[in-house]
């Protein structure tokens, strides 16, 4: 039997993906821009087997929930449709990041699954096509196919035109010595899944359309700042984009609020760091945890300052730029 393992890392968006224009194809309302991390890899193994009558999914060896198994099976259906190989598969996925805590475990997971499954089923995909496939599992997974700074284009139109034009690609910019200090305020599974929260925001928040318009301007300015190696401008835009995204959620009905008291305490500390002359800028995803962008040379000082607020050094991870998805095992047994 041929089993293929792939590894992929999470990414943190500096310009966020929040809202879809096509729920089936996962076509986003906005173009997003992210940094793939070196930390928290997910390893996913796919082994198609002729005797199986359904896909069997495990999380680090333990049977996965029915909901997660169904999501993986629907994803594999896309791969089977593309390859003509109808076999079901054994799939194991092992995260090193707390699941469901707004730390993008689904991005790393579906990027690794897309690469492992495409390889195991013999789909010959170029990187752009692989990112489009990963997008079908989870939108943000399109970005984790690549390392470093990555842009995921919203694309144009819906249906096939939208599908073809909404892909991720690495941004060719001079290397930037940036770090993301991850402050784990709370690692419990979130109350509202991001998919539902996005839907509610798009359909009910009066603040959503202005954020979408602002996001396009943020993108142009951030790409210029990345080209110029201007971390301060990248950070200012990232923080504004994230706070704006959370404002759109607060305007939804019922409101979605991921920011917790501990989140605000970290935001206060980030402001204090800036007032003290240390460049530090915060971004938050679909959860209470905060990622603080800073120069790598300041990361230890930023980590120490934020650790005082979250109460324990083990709640801080200093993350840096990392690689895209790769095959890490090709086993015959």
| Strand arrangement, sheet containing 32-36 | 11-15, 32-36, 149-152, 168-170
**Positions in the binding site for ligand 2P0 (CB under 6 A):** 13, 16-18, 26, 32, 104, 106-107, 138-140, 194-195, 285-286
Cis, bond preceding 42 (omega within 30 deg of 0) = no
CB of 206 to ligand 2P0, least distance (A): 20
CB of 20 to ligand 2P0, least distance (A): 7
Residue 218 CA to residue 6 CA, distance in Å, equals 33
Residue 303 contacts by C-beta under 8 Å, 6 or more apart in sequence? Answer: 181, 313, 316, 318
Nearer to ligand 2P0, 24 or 304 (CB): 24
Nearer to ligand 2P0, 286 or 294 (CB): 286
CB of 127 to ligand 2P0, least distance (A): 19
Cβ(8)–Cβ(111) below 8 Å = yes
Q: Which is it for the CA torsion 193, 198, 201, 207, positive or negative?
A: positive
Nearer to ligand 2P0, 42 or 106 (CB): 106
Nearer to ligand 2P0, 9 or 32 (CB): 32
Task: Please tell me what DSSP assigns to residue 190.
Answer: P
* Nearest residue relative to ligand 2P0 (C-beta): 139
**Pick from 257, 134, 256, 148: which is nearest to 199 by CA?**
256
Task: Please tell me what DSSP assigns to residue 24.
Answer: T
Q: Helices (DSSP H) in the chain: which residue ranges?
A: 66-83, 105-120, 127-137, 141-144, 159-165, 194-204, 208-228, 231-250, 261-275, 299-310
CB of 74 to ligand 2P0, least distance (A): 12
Nearer to ligand 2P0, 195 or 274 (CB): 195
Nearer to ligand 2P0, 168 or 305 (CB): 168
CB of 17 to ligand 2P0, least distance (A): 3
CB of 164 to ligand 2P0, least distance (A): 18
Nearer to ligand 2P0, 12 or 273 (CB): 12
CB of 286 to ligand 2P0, least distance (A): 4
Residue 259 contacts by C-beta under 8 Å, 6 or more apart in sequence? Answer: 246, 284, 288
Please count the other Cβ atoms lying within 10 Å of the Cβ belonging to residue 40: 19
């Amino acid at each position: 039997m041929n089993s293929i393992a792939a590894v992929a890392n999470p990414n943190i968006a500096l310009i966020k993906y929040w809202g879809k224009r096509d729920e089936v194809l996962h076509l986003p309302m906005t173009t997003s821009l992210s940094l793939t991390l070196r930390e928290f890899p997910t390893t996913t193994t796919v082994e198609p087997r002729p005797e199986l009558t359904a896909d069997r999914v495990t999380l680090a060896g333990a049977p996965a929930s029915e909901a997660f198994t169904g999501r993986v099976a629907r994803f594999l259906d896309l791969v089977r449709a593309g390859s003509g190989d109808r076999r079901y598969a054994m799939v194991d996925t092992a995260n090193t990041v707390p699941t469901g805590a707004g730390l993008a475990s689904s991005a790393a997971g579906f990027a690794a699954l897309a690469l492992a499954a495409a390889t195991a089923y013999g789909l010959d995909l170029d990187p752009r096509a692989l990112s489009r496939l990963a997008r079908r599992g989870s939108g943000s997974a399109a970005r984790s196919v690549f390392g470093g700074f990555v842009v995921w284009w919203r694309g144009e139109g819906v249906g096939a035109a939208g599908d073809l034009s909404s892909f991720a690609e690495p941004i060719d910019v001079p290397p930037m010595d940036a770090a993301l200090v991850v402050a784990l305020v709370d690692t419990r599974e979130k109350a509202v899944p991001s998919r539902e929260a996005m839907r509610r925001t798009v359909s009910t928040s009066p603040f959503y359309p202005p954020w979408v318009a602002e996001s396009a301007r943020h993108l142009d300015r951030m790409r210029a700042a990345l080209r110029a190696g201007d971390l301060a401008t990248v950070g200012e835009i990232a923080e504004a984009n994230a706070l704006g995204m959370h404002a759109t959620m607060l305007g939804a009905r019922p409101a979605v609020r991921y920011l917790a008291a501990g989140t605000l305490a970290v935001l206060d500390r980030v402001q204090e760091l800036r007032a003290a002359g240390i460049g530090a800028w915060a971004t938050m995803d679909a959860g209470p945890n905060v990622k603080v962008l800073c120069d790598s040379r300041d990361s230890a000082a930023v980590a120490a300052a934020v650790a005082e607020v979250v109460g324990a050094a083990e709640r801080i991870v200093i993350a840096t730029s990392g690689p895209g998805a790769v095959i890490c095992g090709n086993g015959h047994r």
